[in-house]
Structure 1
């Protein structure tokens, strides 16, 4: 999105320029992605078409940038509220019983082991001991992994996967 950043610097929209250049939200690219999506939505194009729009119809792109800049304080406030909520949840989990937070890393390790078993260890064991241990059903393992990711990641993984499936990545 160098073209968007260059245009933002050229027309003087400082908040968008700071977000896209990584000075705000660098550890979390979600904010920059949301800003680019907002610009594209206001311009009436897809995110991938934004650089072409800047070349073809710069006034429309400038209008979209300025409209998004006007909405930036609200976007930044919502982003900050989200981070505060995540931090509050983390603190609340640390105060509670250890099972309140331990299920997530335990499930991650279990899934990592199951996939490692399915893809590597099982085949090595079969080759070394000349046995035919049956593999687990990959569909079931994939389903279990998908459900865990949807629960643990608040549905964002599922939402992003559906966006890719629908061709709006």
Structure 2
């Protein structure tokens, strides 16, 4: 069960603390516990689908009940939210502590592809028209380079999203 899918509906009815816990980095770890508490308060079975349906059916009643739940267990929710923020900070610190190469190569290559496209489709034709010099990268090369990069960058993330969950389980 993916409890993260109810983070948006929770936020829409004003249960922002619960939504940030479920939608945050701890959502996978504590989503079941928090989701069960939400389902109990709303009087539905403990599934994300049932909770989302109940919120959509009667958002005002859900808002009142969830506000009560947030108030009753405010200390517990605040502690979970704080832990989630600490985890996000640790992840960000780890990413930056490893140096820009570990995280910066993807954006750098994306900007390089953007520069090649700009040079080939905008700058190159202008230089050719004004000065008679051909400085553009051939279009088939631009398309090939872009396709390879999109396959690596986009395809890698897609493969990780599909196969990564299966590998973790």
TM-score scaled to structure 2, two decimals? Answer: 0.45
Q: Which is greater in Rg?
A: 2
TM-score scaled to structure 1, two decimals? Answer: 0.45
The structure where helix makes up a greater share of residues is 2
